Structure 1
Amino acid sequence: MTVMEQRGAYRPTPPPAWQPRTDPAPLLPDAAPYRVLGTEAAAQADPGLLRRLYAQLVSGRRYNAQATALTKQGRLAVYPSTTGQEACEVAAALVLQEQDWLFPSYRDTLAAVARGLDPVQALTLLRGDWHTGYDPREHRIAPLSTPLATQLPHAVGLAHAARLKGDDVVALAMVGDGGTSEGDFHEALNFAAVWQAPVVFLVQNNGFAISVPLAKQTAAPSLAHKAVGYGMPGRLVDGNDAVAVHEVLSEAVRHAREGGGPTLVEAITYRIEAHTNADDATRYRGETEVEAWRAHDPIALLEHELTERGLIDEAGIRAVRDAAETMAAELRAHMNQDPVLDPMDLFSDVYAEPTSQLREQRDQLAAELAAEREGTHS
């Protein structure tokens, strides 16, 4: 018998004492996305929460429309819309306490606004005016992440550090389905599970990573199923059902806060508009597909529930829409003003302690600006 034949005949068996570190069954997501609206569970939903979610969804839809218009007017360099995904954005912001941290991707400016950030500040980066546009420490919102999934390890690091210090902090990290194909996704989930870090990962599965459909990214039953490989619970939720997303994320945040470790939540939603204003979505998807998702609109779903239960009337709907229009008008007015920019801001908030090279560059620019001012006044 050859060596290869001997190897082929060998069938190792685990030792008698071997057993899985963790029972995988409780970690597996449900077979279908969790829903509340349109089910008997909807009757148990808190009316105050329903109204708050609805107001935020309507405001978020108007914010998306206004930001998209600003790109066409040249006031924004680019805008990745979340039209159709507002339920995920709003729920992610509302489940967090003041001391918690939100780690958004570049598409998640609406989540930052729903958490309380000024819409103008949320769009400053996309305007090309400043590094971030806001103070992350003040708002507990990490800088908007343009590189895919790099915010995920950052969220784990902050959450782990907070746990070591004994701080009551949970980090919620948002990422798209395309970001799950990055190595940072794997590293973040692995570290989070090993360290039992108080972090929640929210994957907004909107169907496409720019033009690449999910089927060409992964063969997994769902992205939520990836959780079991890391040893954390996976949840699958209807991402257009604002109440369901809020409930699932609330449970995940509570689980993390109580020391239960991380959770991976996959929200099934859809990007109604193009990837950005630079993308032509008609090249890779048809209008029939888009219209099918418009019929599952998160605002319409929640508005139907509110009206069916008598929790809102036409006057209430008009008031919510009027408030959204006021927000859009204020955003438009501020964004139509040319900003006053200070070139020295290039060196602010790059390092806690500027490097020697950065100090040299800063001094050189300061000298050039001073010489320019002297030449203007002479």
Structure 2
Amino acid sequence: MFKSRTIPTLAAALFLFALPFTAAHAKAAHSQGMHGDARFEYHGSVFTQFLVDSYKENGQSDPHQFYAWLDQASKPFLENEETLPAALETKRAELARISDPKLKAAKEMEIGAWTHKLIKKAIPKFSLDRGYDFTNTVTYGERQCFLQSVLIAGLLQKMGMDAGVVMVARNMVGQTTNNGHASAVLRLSNGKDVLVDASEPEPFARHQGLFAFNTAKSASQYINPNFEGASGVILSYRGQPNNAKVATAQVRTLSVPFLRSQFEYYRGERTVGGLILTPLTAQGLATEESRLKKAVRLCPQNPLAVYMLGRVSMRMGKKDAAKAQLTAANALYTRAGWVPAGMTDAYRQAHR
């Protein structure tokens, strides 16, 4: 399911950001292939890059501290007093010995549930304001939905499974959110999917709307899972806006540029003195703008990052920039099949 896709270089992303934001550029950004499956197994070079980003942002020098910290935090919850690397290798070997897809899928679900439980116990605190950065996990023992999803997917990959991250657009009770939540997704050996979400008490969430990549459209798309009874197992999807069936084999998870962009987005969103952590200050808005610009450079087709940059520009009185950014964001959402109400309101305001 989640094999790597070729992605453009950061230089290409920077070039795209240097151009004016238009619907045509939004479409071109999609065609670059910057969405798609990401390989970032725990302890690998890509996962370490996520740590480097976090530690650099927070003025700290040793990103490998996180690995040592999680090894120690996990130890009380491991079987037979294993270290975390040893436990991951044991489970990888167990999976490798199973050839029957049905039996292997059952084992994968068992390990998915184990990983869900491990992260909830090893990192017990949840924090919207600080839990998005790995440095804060070490300092405060905190996690947030996106960080925990990247961590869970990286651990699952390390154990030899097909896993990645998707954004959530409609939660388990049907409430819509503008990519305001994230979940790890595990592709089972029988071709079905499960959402492994440590924000929920049970491991396999039943979120009703997701933002992922559809290979048949060569674009990101909002998709609604079709669940197998109450099990949390996803049999297929329905794509927006026309509810057309999307097979699990067509669905891919979000790319490394998107994931790095989303981490940077949260750094911008949770800036003190910015749009959310008010009261507003000129310095807060400037810092939020800088971080959101970086998020968009990393992945120009991250719709939430482009949208929020437009809102910040509007609040700063940069009307032309806001109009261009919100035009581009509206094009990204429209192509993905769903435009949040807040996006529509901001777009209309920018075009008055």
TM value normalised by structure 1: 0.25
TM value normalised by structure 2: 0.26
Q: Which has the higher contact order (CA 8 A, sep 6+)?
A: 1
